[in-house]
Amino acid sequence: MYALSVSQVRSLELALVAHQGISLFDLMQRAGASVSSCALDLAAKTGLRRFLLLAGKGNNAGDALVCARLLQEKGVELTLCLAYPPELLRNEAKLAYEQLPSELKQKCKNNLTPEALSSDCLVIDGMLGSGAKGRVRPELAGWIELLNAGNAPVLAIDLPSGLEADSGKADCAVQADLSLSFIAPKIGMLQGRGPELCGRILLDRLGTPQSLLQEQTSAWPLFTQYEAAGLLRREAHDTYKNLRGHVGVIGGSMKYAQAPFLSAVAALRSGAGLASVLLPESLPLDAGIPRALIVRRLPDGGLGRLNKNSLSALEKELPGLGVLACGPGMTANPDMLPLLEMLLHCGKALLLDADALNLLCMAPQMLPQSNAKLILTPHPGEMRRLARAFGLNENLPRHEQALALAEKSGAVILLKGHRSICASPEGRWSCNLSGSAALATAGSGDVLSGVCAAFLGQMPPMQAAALGAFLHGLCAERLKPIGSRGLIADDLLNEIPAAMAQINPKA
């Protein structure tokens, strides 16, 4: 899947109507029907009983008006608010208004009140569309502020009103729970304030054939369940644990003793056949450590962290391991640099996270000489430090930052955050579309490291990082029924097997 610019989507609309011999108004009927179907499905799942449609005066309003007519035909409780007099509606939107039943026209309101925004109501946002730019007009800004102050769930048509579709800029904009985008997601939904405002993104191509979509260049590649299902394939019936891979997690310290265990369990949950934790020997072992894990205690000179004393013992353990994940809970001290250098040159597939990345910032020159299959998983703060260490521009857009670091380092980069970015040294990249606020919890990154490490034993680094990020985000989405506040990393672990089955039931 790809995200496109406004001009690309408009050219596709014209190509689509010419290709299928339909009109732009026919295309609007498809869009409105899609919104209606999505709204009814959402209401059925959440128990919402009323619908409130907010319409401006452009094509986005036309989609909302078609939706309003179709919902009225279903006999649901419906309120339609027009921000402008009907005579100001333009082109296809005007035709959509003319098709409204007279009863609905008579009940149409021209103002929005707090009373209309009850929590049992689904708001359908059709005020502004993809062509809107700059400051929102006062008459709509008031509605947007009122809407954002309420608790009613919001379904945005194409994208939230007030969000610039190309840049992701927004001053006054709707905070949507769900955005139903047409033909392709817009680039601005994935950068700037887009990820914050769009909520979950759904897509309806409105019948656009793949042949037309493939003609577009300069598109943003997206990683969705479709791409994930293609990578998560059915295992052979006679597979065994060694064939599934052995992940070794290297880390832990007196302060963060449990972090490597989260990663190791995540690796097992994600399909690794074996998982070992290699940690400082002076750390106390918790009695609740999962019995399926292998634990190797490395000499640490009583420091409670890995150091030069750990090097020889760690080197002896490496031949029995398949994939290495280094960094969870490790802490960063200069005397650990020889350990990192050894891992970079040991010939094993390797994932670096957390303090392993901070160590790398101390000596970036060791990385380009490495021959490892390598994934780096920085969060935004670690990304800034890596950019400085490698002499890169810190102010680039996220995907350009990731691409620049991938090219400079020779590693696959998984830049974490809402809408995580995966980038390869060859210049390929993708934007992950799964995830929720449930991931904002201690240990979430450790879980991600384990998931990606498990896949790194089964596929190339770029695919492992992208699939790992998607699965990690899907686990968070699956927890939505119980809320996103108060969840812990262990909750994510428990969702991994079911999330993999959801991605590809045949896998």
Residue extents of the structural domains in the chain: 2-218, 229-248+322-503
Q: What's the pLDDT tens digit per position in 240-276?
A: 898 899 999 999 999 999 999 999 999 999 999 999 9
Q: What's the pLDDT tens digit per position in 26-38?
A: 999 999 999 999 9
pLDDT at 88 over 90: yes
Give 480 or 275, the one with higher predicted confidence: 275
- Tell me the pLDDT band of 289, cut-offs 50, 70 and 90: confident
**Has domain 2-218 been given CATH number 3.40.50.300?**
no
CA angle, residues 113, 29, 175, in degrees to nearest 5: 35
For residue 423, the model assigns a pLDDT of 98
User: In terms of CATH architecture, what is 229-248+322-503?
Assistant: 3-Layer(aba) Sandwich (3.40)
What length does the chain have?
507
Nearest to 352 by CA among 312, 323, 319, 316: 323
For residue 371, the model assigns a pLDDT of 66
Q: What's the pLDDT tens digit per position in 348-385?
A: 999 999 999 999 999 999 987 666 699 999 999 999 99
Nearest to 64 by CA among 99, 107, 114: 99
Contact predicate 342/315, CB 8 Å = yes
Q: Is 279 helix (H, G, I), strand (E, B) or coil?
A: strand
Mean pLDDT of 152-173: 97
How does DSSP assign 66-81, residue by residue?
HHHHHHHHTT-EEEEE
pLDDT at 176 over 70: yes
What gap in Å lies between CA 34 and CA 471, rounded to an integer?
27
Contact predicate 493/266, CB 8 Å = yes
26, 28, 307, 358, 365 from 362: Cα distances, Å: 60, 56, 15, 7, 9
Looking at the DSSP assignment, which residues form a beta bridge with residue 202? 180
How many CA atoms lie within 13 Å of 223's alpha carbon, on the beta-carbon side? 30
Nearest to 42 by CA among 350, 480, 504: 480
- What are the tokens at 201? 């993104």
Contact predicate 49/87, CB 8 Å = no
CA angle, residues 357, 358, 360, in degrees to nearest 5: 60
pLDDT at 152 over 70: yes
Q: What's the pLDDT tens digit per position in 431-447?
A: 999 999 899 999 999 99
Q: Is 229 helix (H, G, I), strand (E, B) or coil?
A: helix
Residue type, 333: N
Q: Which residues have C-beta within 8 Å of that of residue 483, sequence separation ≥ 6?
A: none
